């Protein structure tokens, strides 16, 4: 254990500072497709009973009109976060009729692309901007990729903790600067070790043949409708899923907040010839917001992002510039098809230990060459993570995934014990033990469990996905929302619809002018915190 991690753990272990570990916030965003009783993509509009996808704070849509996104409030106790995610699911099922929520990260059988409806957010300028942005995604990457679902884990530590560390270590700069750079250090360590999460939690080793259309691939045939790789953990995070050629050269440097902002600014402003060929309009109708490499900052597909809650009309880069990093968003987690809400408490507890380790451990700057090695390690695990004897690259040497993983868990163990100490339990230590067993036996990983379960369904991904979706539907329908929960969410839905209507009525100016103003909004080049 290095001296920085040792000294920081010692500081946080004192009676004065130990409570800080329980004051951070955790939030979860879960994406899931609406499907019919036969497991086909639903073609119905976003249910009015769920409110406005534009303005509802907890229930919205992502890319497709049928791709729901459930957003929990941020809580200091992840168990409470998961309870709230469960409630959103129960409320949603009370409004879905005969439809179900797809249990997998990779999509159900998809219809021809013209039949996949892009999410609609109403006629306001801001609603149309969200819709046109998604038209651009369809143009650039295809609609099938935009139907992939995942779990996003939002994580923050209390500002007081950063101030305590800065005071102890005598680091120069404002508290805001120290906090932002500390989150960037967390992100750098996350990039070093994120392969471990893909091994432990990857749950998409197979996919429907319909997903790939006519794309070239090196997958093997498992059955008539199912393709796979024998040792894969997460095809969702492979080059068949969220990775793509256009963004392959975009590697925002997270060695400082200014570096990160500068790289994203360049990507939003830099014309990209393949997209310039499309233009922004076709037959007078908008087809993408811009012809630059990224239409907006959020188009950058990354396993982790520095984030800041934005104000109305504010862009993500502007918020980071003005007020610094507030939390990080983990984006590489597959939906666990064996869990009704897509993630369980043990996974979440482990994530908290892992992320705190990334935050406290020494985190040197990453060179471009090192960044390539980290990306190669990640790519190897998503495609071959369960292959016996798989080796990764560390400091110019080969090391087996198992050996490196066990070493990391040993380094994280004191953190788990420290997090358990205030309440006198062992929930984090237990979560660590569960992951250690997976390193010893790959058959315990979610990806291996999926492969075994497929055998019970004729090795058909679609039949397995439908079976799990039906199970989860019965689970949620057997526990309908209480009268109080139903009233709470019904009011939230009606308020969101009224808010959307007000926005549409108050709109001024044309959409063309709105887009021009949006693109001309000043994106600061360096943080001012």
Count of residues making up the chain = 529
CA 299 to each of CA 134, 246, 317, 475: distance values in angstroms, whole numbers, following the listed order: 10, 11, 13, 35
CA 509 to each of CA 245, 301, 505: distance values in angstroms, whole numbers, following the listed order: 37, 32, 12
Degrees to nearest 5, angle at CA 94 with 92 and 99 = 75
Q: How many CB atoms lie within 10 A of CB 201?
A: 23
**Which candidate, 324, 307, 306, 356, places its Cα nearest to that of 180?**
324
DSSP bridge pairs for 268 = none
The per-residue DSSP string of 503-529 comes to HHHH--S-HHHHHHHHHHS---SS---
d(CA 503, CA 513): 17
Per-residue model confidence (pLDDT) at position 65: 97
- Tens of pLDDT, residues 232-242: 999 999 988 76
The per-residue DSSP string of 221-247 comes to EEETTEEE-TT-SBGGGSTTTT--STT
Per-residue model confidence (pLDDT) at position 528: 73
Per-residue model confidence (pLDDT) at position 529: 76
Per-residue model confidence (pLDDT) at position 22: 87
Side by side, the strands of the sheet bearing 226-228 are 206-208, 226-228, 220-223
Q: What is the pLDDT along the chain (529 residues), one digit of tens a residue?
A: 578 999 999 999 999 999 998 899 999 999 999 999 999 999 999 999 999 999 999 999 999 999 999 999 999 999 999 999 999 999 999 999 999 999 999 999 999 999 999 999 999 999 999 999 999 999 999 999 889 999 999 999 999 999 999 999 999 999 999 999 999 999 999 999 999 999 999 999 999 999 998 788 899 999 999 999 999 999 999 988 765 566 666 665 799 999 999 888 888 988 999 999 999 999 999 999 999 999 998 898 899 999 999 887 788 889 999 999 999 999 999 999 999 999 999 999 999 999 999 999 999 999 999 999 999 999 999 999 999 999 999 999 999 999 999 999 999 999 999 999 877 789 999 999 999 999 999 999 999 999 999 999 999 999 999 999 999 999 999 999 999 999 999 999 999 999 999 999 999 899 999 999 888 876 676 777 7
Angle at which helix 257-269 crosses helix 316-323, to 10 degrees, equals 160
Terminal alpha carbon distance of the chain: 32
142: left (phi over 0), alpha (psi -120 to 50) or beta: left
Per-residue model confidence (pLDDT) at position 243: 57
Token code pair at residue 270: 């830099």
Q: Which residue has the tokens 């892992």?
A: 354
CA 259 to each of CA 50, 199, 256, 318, 525: distance values in angstroms, whole numbers, following the listed order: 40, 30, 5, 14, 9
**Which candidate, 506, 504, 513, places its Cα nearest to that of 122?**
504
Task: Specify whether the CB–CB gap between 44 and 118 falls below 8 A.
Answer: no
Q: Domains in the chain, ordered, with CATH?
A: 3-256+297-520 (3.30.590.20)
Task: Specify whether the CB–CB gap between 260 and 266 falls below 8 A.
Answer: no
Token code pair at residue 133: 């942005």
- Which H or E run contains 372? helix 368-384
The per-residue DSSP string of 170-194 comes to T--S-HHHHHHHHHHHHHHHHHHHH
């Amino acid at each position: 254990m290095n001296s920085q991690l040792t000294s920081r753990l010692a500081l946080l272990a004192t009676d004065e500072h130990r409570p800080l570990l329980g004051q951070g916030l955790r939030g979860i965003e879960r994406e899931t497709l609406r499907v019919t009783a036969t497991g086909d993509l639903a073609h119905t509009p976003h249910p009015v009973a769920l409110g406005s996808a534009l303005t509802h704070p907890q229930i919205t849509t992502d890319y497709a009109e049928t791709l729901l996104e459930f957003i929990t409030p941020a809580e200091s106790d992840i168990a409470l976060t998961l309870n709230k995610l469960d409630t959103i699911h129960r409320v949603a099922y009370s409004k879905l009729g005969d439809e179900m929520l797809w249990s997998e990260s990779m999509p159900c059988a998809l219809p021809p692309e013209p039949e996949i409806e892009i999410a609609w957010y109403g006629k306001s300028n801001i609603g149309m901007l969200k819709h046109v942005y998604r038209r651009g995604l369809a143009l650039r990457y295809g609609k099938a990729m935009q139907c992939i679902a995942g779990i996003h884990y939002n994580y923050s530590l209390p500002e007081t903790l950063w101030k305590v560390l800065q005071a102890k270590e005598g680091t120069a700069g404002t508290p805001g600067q120290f906090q932002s750079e500390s989150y960037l250090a967390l992100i750098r360590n996350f990039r070093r070790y994120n392969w471990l999460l893909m091994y432990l939690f990857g749950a998409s080793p197979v996919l429907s043949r319909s997903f790939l259309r006519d794309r070239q691939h090196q997958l093997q045939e498992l059955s008539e409708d199912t393709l796979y790789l024998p040792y894969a953990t997460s095809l969702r995070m492979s080059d068949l899923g969220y990775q793509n050629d256009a963004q392959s050269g975009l590697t925002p440097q997270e060695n400082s907040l200014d570096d990160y902002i500068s790289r994203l600014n360049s990507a939003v402003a830099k014309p990209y010839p393949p997209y310039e060929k499309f233009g922004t309009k076709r037959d007078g109708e908008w087809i993408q917001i811009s012809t630059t490499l990224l239409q907006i900052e959020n188009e950058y597909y990354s396993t982790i992002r520095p984030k800041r809650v934005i104000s109305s009309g504010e862009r993500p880069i502007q918020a980071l510039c003005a007020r610094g990093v507030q939390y990080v968003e983990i984006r590489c987690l597959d939906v666990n098809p064996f869990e009704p809400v897509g993630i369980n408490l043990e996974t979440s507890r482990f994530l908290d230990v892992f992320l705190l380790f990334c935050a406290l451990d020494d985190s040197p700057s990453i060179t471009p060459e090192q960044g390539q090695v980290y990306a190669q390690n990640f790519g190897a695990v998503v495609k071959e993570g369960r292959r016996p004897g798989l080796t990764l690259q560390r400091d110019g040497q080969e090391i087996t995934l198992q050996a490196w993983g066990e070493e990391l868990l040993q380094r994280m163990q004191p953190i788990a014990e420290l997090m358990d100490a205030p309440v006198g339990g062992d929930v984090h230590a237990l979560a660590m033990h569960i992951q250690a067993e997976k390193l010893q036996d790959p058959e315990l990983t979610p990806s291996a469990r999926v492969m075994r379960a497929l055998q019970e369904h004729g090795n058909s991904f679609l039949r397995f996905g439908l079976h799990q979706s039906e199970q989860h539907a019965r689970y949620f329908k057997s526990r309908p929302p209480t009268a109080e929960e139903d009233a709470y969410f019904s009011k939230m839905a009606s308020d969101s619809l009224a808010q959307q209507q007000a926005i549409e009525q108050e709109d001024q100016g044309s959409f063309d002018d709105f887009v021009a103003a949006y693109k001309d909004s000043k994106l600061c080049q360096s943080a001012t915190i």
